[in-house]
Amino acid sequence: MTQPIKLTKLAECAGCGAKVGAGELARLLEGLDVRRDPNLLVGFDKSDDAAVYRVSEDLAIVETLDFFPPIADDPYTYGAIAAANALSDVWAMGGEPKVALNIMAVPEDMPKDVVHQILRGGYEKVYEAGASIVGGHSIYDEEPKYGLSVTGFVEPGSMWTNAGAREGDVLVYTKPLGIGIVVTAAKGGLATPEQLSLAEEAMMRLNRWPHDVALEGGFTVDAATDVTGFGVMGHLLEMAQGAGLACEVDAGAFDVLPGALEAARLGLLPAGTYRNRHFAADYVDGGDTELALLDLLFTPETSGGLLFAVPAEEADAFVATLTADGRVLAACAVGRMVAAGEGAPRIRVR
């Protein structure tokens, strides 16, 4: 009998842990000309989750793409996670995904059924999102990779960015933390099947749901981003710098996946943790926070949750509404935006 393929064994890095580090990415993009267009509301120069291009006063296109090597051994699960991760960028801008294109690289000898299951996972997540896959592009490669290019719509006056936070806003995060560490532990056989299953469930959960709660409930979203390859610290740093503010973070307020903190204490960290530390550590005052807990905040989160900045007077109701019907796995108030003091760190952890 043919042994099932373990997809994660075919890749050096898993999921968003394969992402080029933020510091290195900035150096790679340095000096590239940015075409000025008054209708380009958000471009790559703003370090946001997706580009936004205004078509009319009432309509703008949200454009993104994301793909990565296998984060799960099961091909259907891998495809679903990769799709959920790519779709998330559109919701992080306050938009609605509408159409998507597959991006796929597979070894020439990969069984057709495995490829089919990866694609099926992607298709079903896109349909759950209310969008359609309309084509794509595939190549042969020794290391499998899968993801999507996604196009969505948003009203220009209603879009969210990662730079609009205001002093006093409360930070709310919408998934359990520790995905990257649990997956790393599982690759070494040091996470239980139950722990890995919970991490995969978190990765497959669409960020459509917190997006919809925010809009349907009429909550004020001053800023939003999704937490992926740069970890909580990297994405928070972009949010703080974009707003000209600083963040105070309560590290103990995050919902954490079972086994993640214990694995961090054992040093079971993906390479992306160290890249993120190298990029963001100079801007962070960790205080007396336990090192393993800080590692959780620096670790890449494949298909992580949305991180919102909302007015303080709405925060309690927002958190309660997010968790009211079970569509959102977790909702925690994890910090607040504060004035940036001269020479002070952008992120203070307590």
**Hey, which residues are catalytic here?**
16
Asked whether residue 48 is marked as a ligand-binding residue, the answer is yes
Helix (H) or strand (E) holding 316: helix 312-322
- Strand bridging mode 347-349 / 245-249: parallel
Asked whether residue 49 is marked as a ligand-binding residue, the answer is yes
Asked whether residue 47 is marked as a ligand-binding residue, the answer is yes
Asked whether residue 46 is marked as a ligand-binding residue, the answer is yes
Q: Which of 105, 95, 101, 21 is nearest to 69 (CA)?
A: 105
Q: Which of 316, 315, 84, 287 is nearest to 179 (CA)?
A: 84
Query: What's the CA gap between 166 and 47, in Å, rounded?
Result: 18
Helix 291-298 with 271-280: angle, nearest 10 deg: 90
Q: Which residues pair with 339 in a beta bridge?
A: 245
Show the tokens assigned to 253.
């307020």
Asked whether residue 138 is marked as a ligand-binding residue, the answer is yes
Q: Which residues pair with 96 in a beta bridge?
A: 153
Q: Which of 221, 199, 163, 194 is nearest to 300 (CA)?
A: 199
Query: What's the CA gap between 124 and 80, in Å, rounded?
Result: 7
Residue located via tokens 């890995």: 196
Annotated binding site: 19, 46-49, 66, 89, 136-138, 226
Annotated binding site for ATP: 19, 46-48, 66, 89, 136-138
